[in-house]
Chains A and B, each alone.
Chain A
């Protein structure tokens, strides 16, 4: 029985990694053709991402948007999570639900809403619009992680700090913030990786002027194949693995994803 389980898990793992492995193979083809197993070996296509201005531009856009959007997402998520934690009011819960909503709905809905919004107010086509849109769309991730972090804080710690003379500001900076920092960082990391990979909102809000890497890949896919897109896919997969690997290394990933605490048997 255990053997069957192991075989099943390995089979699923292989199936899940198959597309990425094939793309990794394709990305090192010497010729500009879609071949697997690869013929020859070259890393030139990875270099082209940085040397070809069209691709490098898209890379820059993606990283800038992801960076600022995830900062924005954290800045919105943190007060909402704190507000709900400090007073479990109806308004707090409402705010929390609205923060969760973008992720519960098909993203095309949010995307179209934002398209119409930016067209109406005149921000359509600007990178700032993409950043704000991603920032609000991705609030869910830091909101969930920070709330988990706050839940794990024993409220008596706050009361203890209060009796020792700390005001609300001091309590936040000396007790709460140090305890939830790992959760803030992982929320930021989740939002960053998802913003990098997000397509539909970036496309609808400013897709024709601010090309991100996913948009660039999809556009190139329409006009023919280039191994650079395979290289980008591999890099994106690696970035995700590294980021989530770091989150796992410095945080309790199973708990972050909702498993019971480590010591519970």
Chain B
């Protein structure tokens, strides 16, 4: 705020003071976001020194190590897991968001507040909550026992399905909030036109709503994919060590193995995967803006 005052008062005195706030913002973003990424890129080529951190050099060992079957498997597993979670989340979120945008305004606001609250919940809390819900002593299985479905309660975690469930839970609110603007701007007359031409509500949904929103759906899956790729706590709380994702291994290498160069190399690879994905969605958005609107 104080920076803004400088901006305004600067107009009379001269041109340089006016540029102070944007300059301050550029320095902050540059120094604390771009520079760290730059240093990380540099470190990814550095040489690891056992016992210390690293020493400057230029070597590709850290990237070469990644080609090891173990880490390739981790990358493949991470990507497969995140894509599965993203697709499941969008499959549920799309009809949900569509219904939501057609609901009363009060209902919409209630649901949005609720989803924002869930979205902002720490991954730690989500991991803890689901591990409780899936536990033997306090979980759903007690409910099944009470109903008489099972003899004895059981723990459902750690396991791959539990992890997948947790990731879907994590990305669902995000997915809804990404879909919400596009779906709430979808002209309701398109669906009504289909209804007038004889299409049932279900048929309208599949022959009009889904195809019109095709690009939005694909880019939402990609964004949800990148979002779940960042999950760090859930693989550790709901999954077993073989289910640890790239994010977990990056932290593990950085903190516990004290191998910053290798962690940096993995982070750079993750960055590249994410950037490519985000770029694809941005390009699709551009195309939409150019020729989509009738």
Contacts and interface: CB of A to CB of B under 8 A. Distances in A.
Say if the two chains contact directly (CB < 8 Å): yes
Interface of A: 1, 5, 8-9, 12-13, 16-20, 22-23, 25-26, 33-37, 72, 74-80, 82-83, 95, 98-99, 101-102, 104-117, 119-120, 132-133, 135-137, 139, 167-170, 172-173, 177, 190, 193-194, 196-200, 203-204, 213-215, 217-218, 221, 229-230, 232-233, 236-237, 240-241, 244-245, 248, 253-254, 257-260, 262
Nearest to A258: B181
B159 interface: no
B125 interface: yes
Contacts of B133: 18-19, 22
Nearest to A120: B39
A117 B35 contact: yes
Given A22-B133, A204-B254, A199 B12 contact: no
B29 A244 contact: no
Contacts of B2: 75
B116 A26 contact: no
Contacts of B5: 169
Interface stretch (B66-74, B270-278, B284-292): B270-278
A177 B7 CA distance: 13
A118 to B, nearest CB: 8
A262 B105 CA distance: 9
Contacts of A196: 120, 122
Interface of B: 1-5, 7-9, 11-12, 18, 21-22, 24-26, 28-30, 32-37, 39-40, 43, 53, 92, 95-96, 99-103, 105, 108-109, 111-118, 120-130, 132-133, 135, 137-140, 142, 169, 172-173, 177, 180-181, 184-185, 201-202, 223, 226-227, 229-230, 232-233, 237, 247, 250-251, 254-255, 260, 263-264, 267, 270-271, 274-275, 278
Given A26-B132, A240-B116, A105 B32 contact: no
Contacts of B137: 33-36
